[in-house]
A = this chain, B = another copy of it.
């Protein structure tokens, strides 16, 4: 099966056809008619086998996650997904693998009305680069550099589960079946927080998605906004799986572990009643330029390790 046949069979099957896509897959490039009064949000992320996921990860999950991590960046800007391209590098054509990979990818894409409009298929070590494009009404995108002292700091859902899942895969921890199921789902099929991101338009003063660990990613907001933060680590929302661990260890996963793809965002106090459900306030932006982590009893939390770095 040559590359054209692979594209035809596995990647032209999506059941949506957006009215703003004038020409999708099948030409030198796609043609988009952008809606008026909207800005376009663009992001790209690569997943490399054995770096971003274990080589034996199910192809469904690889397809799902490679899109999810990109949609998560759109969510952090408050954008609504629109168009996707995929650059897929494969060591070989394996039909079962491609069937499952594309099923995982399209399940998530179609859930968000995001249309695959083009891509490239090459031979080489397994690498998936997705580019996601989203839309947002002009001027409403939520950036990193606009947090202000006094703003409240929130995170979505629970934090640290993906890092715990990774530790389980590395046989550093053993969990009950239920807890293992929970954290593996968070690692392999993260939910991009698109809906919450949209609800944060006009509410959040800054936002980021948590891909490198809460401390590191909140650190990006602090650095870009030239502010500091006080976090009460006891307030960080933890899943039952993490609450079953020793407290210090659980907080370390939450602060330093990556791959959560939850959102961390800041909200001016007078807008706190507009914060969506499933978001937890964990602290306050300060004018100190420092990230001050404390337990409820006032004792400092010692951050052993910050986020994942590639080099």
Give chain A's interface residues, CB within 8 Å of chain B: 1-3, 6, 22-23, 26-34, 36, 38-46, 48-52, 73-74, 76-77, 79, 83, 85-87, 89-90, 92-93, 117-125, 127, 129, 131-134, 136, 138, 141, 143-145, 207-209, 224, 309-311
Chain B neighbourhood of A121, CB < 8 A: 310
Cβ of A39 and Cβ of B29 under 8 Å apart? no
Kindly state the separation between the CA atoms of A22 and B139 in the bound complex, as whole angstroms: 9
Cβ of B134 and Cβ of A45 under 8 Å apart? no
Chain B neighbourhood of A125, CB < 8 A: 48, 124-125, 127
Min CB distance, A132 to chain B, in Å? 8
Kindly state the separation between the CA atoms of A189 and B54 in the bound complex, as whole angstroms: 36
The one of B51, B73, B77, B83 in contact with A122, judged by C-beta atoms closer than 8 angstroms, is B51
Kindly state the separation between the CA atoms of A33 and B145 in the bound complex, as whole angstroms: 19
Chain B neighbourhood of A29, CB < 8 A: 41-43, 73-74, 76-77, 79, 132, 134
Chain B neighbourhood of A93, CB < 8 A: 311
Give the dominant DSSP class at A's interface.
strand
Chain B neighbourhood of A77, CB < 8 A: 27-29, 31
Kindly state the separation between the CA atoms of A127 and B29 in the bound complex, as whole angstroms: 21
Cβ of A34 and Cβ of B34 under 8 Å apart? yes
Chain B neighbourhood of A33, CB < 8 A: 39-40, 138
Cβ of A31 and Cβ of B118 under 8 Å apart? no
Kindly state the separation between the CA atoms of A45 and B52 in the bound complex, as whole angstroms: 21
Cβ of B44 and Cβ of A119 under 8 Å apart? yes
Cβ of A310 and Cβ of B3 under 8 Å apart? yes
Cβ of B224 and Cβ of A120 under 8 Å apart? no
Residue of B nearest to A144 (CB): B27
The one of B30, B38, B311 in contact with A2, judged by C-beta atoms closer than 8 angstroms, is B311
- Ranked nearest first, the 7 interchain pairs of A and B with the lowest CB-CB distance are A48-B124, A29-B43, A28-B76, A129-B129, A87-B129, A125-B125, A28-B73
Chain B neighbourhood of A143, CB < 8 A: 23, 27, 31
A-B contact pairs, 13 of them (CB 8 A): A27-B224, A29-B41, A29-B43, A32-B41, A42-B85, A44-B120, A44-B129, A46-B87, A48-B89, A48-B123, A48-B124, A120-B129, A125-B125
